[in-house]
Amino acid sequence: MSDTAPDQWKDAIYEALRQANVRLVAYVPDAGHARVIERVHAEGDMKGVVLTTEEEGVAFCCGAWLGGERAVLLMQSSGVGNCINMLSLVENCRFPLVALVTMRGEWAEFNQWQEPMGRATQAALELMGVKVMRAERAEDVGPMAAASLESAFRSDQATAVLLAQRLIGRKEWTK
Amino acid sequence: MKNLVADRRDLLIVAGLGSTAYDLFAAGDHPANFYLWGAMGGAAMIGLGLALAQPRRPVLVVTGDGEQLMGLGSFATIGAQRPPNLGLAVIDNERYGETGMQRSHTALGTDLVAVAKACGIAWAREIRGEGELAAFATQVQRMAAASFGLIKVAPENPPRVLPPRDGVHLKNRFRQSLGFDVN
């Protein structure tokens, strides 16, 4: 199993985070986010914080903002379902939120267990008041990440960028 | 609670929903108190984000056994980071106090001190008297290592004093007390 897609849009995410002075990156790992996570741990501009479940990351990002730092949350679409009630913290306190979500269960998906949450991801976020952008093309990823960071940390908006499964590429499975 | 926060100095405090938020407010309101009215299971992680953002200030999370049990994984996440300025206090009455005092898992076998230690939080103690409570408060102020105090209390339901519920107000006054502008 490996991630064969080109790295350009992944580096665009990293650069957008760095340029927006993000200091903390909370994540539940995903193959699509692997390069950003590796760079976060390797390069020292940002601190990576691995989570046991995605809702921890919602609370973590809110706590970081209370303390004056910018934190973002990386996860895959299945993790969005784990965040639902914790997003009431974001809405009630009007905390900024930047969630970068790699999509599963929408294009050439091998594992049908990813399908239900993949179909519900965008609607679930929107039901909880999160503004959703969806990147289908590699060249849109950097600008969408930058726009999400800007509206979150400058305008107290809750935002998510969905990274389409077609963009991420097929997961290679070996028996 | 009053004794735990009496000599708070630079302490930043996050209080989990329910009795711990009421008790913190009753002990004395402060702009660097962040009271939760929801987000159950999130108090410890808010504290971790705050502790990493403010490494020179001691951070204390005070929450109930039920709230912490809902975020049990946060012990592992905190144990992986071990910020020396973070203290986590669970006020343990072994009950879900808001919903009719049903027994919680700490009454049914869960040992949160053992959980904390197993997750890498070496300073983890059960606290039963004023001396032990003072030692925990001192440990948090020293910022020498992440700490966990399981403060055992009797299951009582005293009169309540309710803190503000407006989250934007609580957020803004907290950030302003640290010198950050309101967006």
Residue A28: its pLDDT value, please?
Answer: 98
Q: Is the dihedral of CA A46, A52, A56, A58 positive or negative?
A: positive
* Strand-pair category, B33-35 with B86-92: unpaired
Domain holding A112, by residue range, is 8-168
Task: Determine the residue of chain A that is closest to B82 in CA distance.
Answer: A49
Taking contacts as CB-CB distances below 8 angstroms, the residues of chain B near A58 are 42
Count structural domains, chain A.
1
DSSP B179: T
**Number of residue pairs across A and B with CB atoms under 8 Å?**
120
Domain holding B62, by residue range, is 2-177
Residue A173: its pLDDT value, please?
Answer: 63
pLDDT band at B181 (very low <50, low <70, confident <90, very high): confident
Per the domain annotation, does B183 fall within a domain? no
Taking contacts as CB-CB distances below 8 angstroms, the residues of chain B near A155 are 183
Q: Please compute the mean of the pLDDT values over residues B150-179 and round it to a whole number.
A: 95
Task: Kindly list the residues of chain B whose beta carbon comes within 8 Å of any beta carbon in chain A.
Answer: 12, 14, 34, 36-43, 45-54, 71, 73-74, 76-77, 80-81, 167-168, 170-171, 174-175, 178-180, 183
Q: Which of B13, B46, B70, B85 to mutate to test the interface with A (most CBs of A within 10 A)?
A: B46
Per the domain annotation, does A88 fall within a domain? yes
Do A99 and A160 contact (CB within 8 A), yes or no? yes
Rounded to the nearest integer, the mean pLDDT of chain B is 96
pLDDT band at B170 (very low <50, low <70, confident <90, very high): very high
Q: Please compute the mean of the pLDDT values over residues B102-120 and round it to a whole number.
A: 97
Per the domain annotation, does B141 fall within a domain? yes
Task: Determine the residue of chain A that is closest to B168 in CA distance.
Answer: A93
Per the domain annotation, does A2 fall within a domain? no
Task: Kindly list the residues of chain A whose beta carbon comes within 8 Å of any beta carbon in chain B.
Answer: 23-24, 26, 47, 49-53, 55-69, 71, 85-86, 88-89, 92-95, 154-156
CA dihedral angle for residue B103, residue B109, residue B114, residue B115, rounded to 10 degrees: -60
Per the domain annotation, does B182 fall within a domain? no
- Determine, for residues A95 and B180 on separate chains, whether the beta-carbon distance falls below 8 Å: no
Neighbours of B166 (CB within 10 A): 13
Taking contacts as CB-CB distances below 8 angstroms, the residues of chain A near B53 are 23-24, 63-69, 71
Residue A14: its pLDDT value, please?
Answer: 98
Which alpha helices (DSSP H) does B38-178 contain, by range?
A: 43-53, 65-70, 73-81, 112-118, 130-142, 167-177
Per the domain annotation, does A59 fall within a domain? yes
Residue A175: its pLDDT value, please?
Answer: 62
Neighbours of A112 (CB within 10 A): 9
Per the domain annotation, does A174 fall within a domain? no
- Determine, for residues A59 and B183 on separate chains, whether the beta-carbon distance falls below 8 Å: no
Residue A79: its pLDDT value, please?
Answer: 98
CATH code at A118?
Answer: 3.40.50.970
CA–CA dist B164, A114 (Å, integer): 41
Count structural domains, chain B.
1
Residue B40: its pLDDT value, please?
Answer: 97
Per the domain annotation, does A53 fall within a domain? yes
Task: Determine the residue of chain B that is closest to A157 in CA distance.
Answer: B183
Q: Please compute the mean of the pLDDT values over residues B93-103 and round it to a whole number.
A: 93
CA–CA dist A83, A97 (Å, integer): 12
Among B77, B171, B183, select the one facing A52 at the smallest CB separation: B77
Residue A172: its pLDDT value, please?
Answer: 67
Per-residue pLDDT in tens (0 to 9) along chain A, 175 residues: 344 456 899 999 999 999 999 999 999 999 999 999 999 999 999 999 999 999 999 999 999 999 999 999 999 999 999 999 999 999 999 999 999 999 999 999 999 999 999 999 999 999 999 999 999 999 999 999 999 999 999 999 999 999 999 998 866 666 6
CA–CA dist B63, B155 (Å, integer): 15
Residue B158: its pLDDT value, please?
Answer: 87
Residue B182: its pLDDT value, please?
Answer: 86
- Determine, for residues B183 and A156 on separate chains, whether the beta-carbon distance falls below 8 Å: yes
Residue B103: its pLDDT value, please?
Answer: 95
Distance from CA of B140 to the nearest CA of A (A): 17
Report CA Rg, chain A.
Answer: 15
CATH code at B42?
Answer: 3.40.50.970
Q: Is the pLDDT of residue B93 over 80?
A: yes
Per the domain annotation, does B53 fall within a domain? yes
